[in-house]
Structure 1
């Protein structure tokens, strides 16, 4: 197999792995936040999770790229890994999450509490999600962190 074909296959597997990891992990945690923190009704939670899953499809790989990029700043220590994983997750996912629950009925105090709850959850879940993402990537035969594709797109690339 040529290097170009292998590289293309690896990129496709990264897209699938990153997307699957995001959908599985955050469908579960989003449901808990929406129902028990934001106080949304079950029908609102269902719609939010359906919209969330649809939005995670195009966001899965870009978040994987963002996380790999941010994690280059992390040191080898556990505290550094936890901090940078949490920073990556909060800065990328909280704005998207706030939009999802706002579109699906959260307003006023519920919107603020849901967004605050998501922020706290993302801070706490940053490292567990990072570890989960690494496991899913390995299940797809990929490295846990992808060095060759860790910088976000720019005008100069």
Structure 2
């Protein structure tokens, strides 16, 4: 009789959960940064958000795996450690992608630099709130929180 591994999460559910969380959270924050910090027009913001949503589909789960890997360094009982490592994970993975999105969408020169700087600051500040949001979305999908082996690709 085969034994079912109850520790192994459904990969499709993990993909959908991580991608849904990324799209919901960062579509909202992206609009704020692009329009009010980078000074992009509403047409440029719409283009950036559509491009961003299309790119979030293939990067949602890889970011979730990256975050889980980075969060293994955080001390589970230390909120400052969790805040630091969640922010490191988000900035190191998302800022380069975001920079390319707004550049392709029309930001240039000073606006591009302000957008990248604004995104970096936002992601430093939003690292832990997004990590907590991601864990809540994962819980809604019946998955364990990140930073532990069961959410890795190798399980």
Q: TM-score, normalised by structure 2?
A: 0.92
Pair 1:84-2:77 in alignment: no
1:114-125 equivalences in 2 (<5 Å): 114-125=115-126
Residue in structure 2 matched with residue 148 of structure 1 by the alignment: 150
- Cα 1:148–1:6 change in 2 (3 A) is closer
CA distance 1:106–1:2, shift in 2 (3 Å): farther
**Cα distance in 2 between the residues matched to 1:43 and 1:92:** 26
Counterpart of 1:128 in structure 2 is: 129
Gaps of at least 5 residues in structure 2 are none
Number of aligned residues: 151
Q: In the alignment, is residue 139 of structure 1 matched against residue 146 of structure 2? A: no
Deviation string for 1:77-114 (max 9, x for gaps)? Answer: 01000000000000000000000000000000000000
Quote the Cα distance in structure 1 between the aligned partners of 2:7 and 2:152. Answer: 18
1:118/1:3 CA distance change after superposition, 3 Å: same
Q: Which residue of 2 aligns with 1:65?
A: 65
**Distance in 2 between residues matched to 1:42 and 1:2, nearest whole Å:** 54
Q: Distance in 2 between matches of 1:130 and 1:41?
A: 30
Structure 1, unmatched stretches of 5+, are none
Q: By how many angstroms is 1:150 displaced?
A: 3.4
**Cα drift, residue 148 of structure 1:** 2.8
| Equivalent residues of 2:86, 2:127 under 8 A apart | yes
1:113 corresponding residue in structure 2 = 114
CA contact (8 A) 2:19 2:61 kept: yes
Structure 1: distance between partners of 2:86 and 2:6: 31
Correspondence for 1:12:
12
Instruction: Name the structure 2 match of 1:37.
Output: 37
Q: For 1:3, what is the secondary structure of its paired residue?
A: coil
Could you tell me how far 1:147 is from its partner in structure 2? 1.5
Q: For 1:44 and 1:86, locate their aligned partners in 2 and report how far apart those are by CA, in whole Å.
A: 27
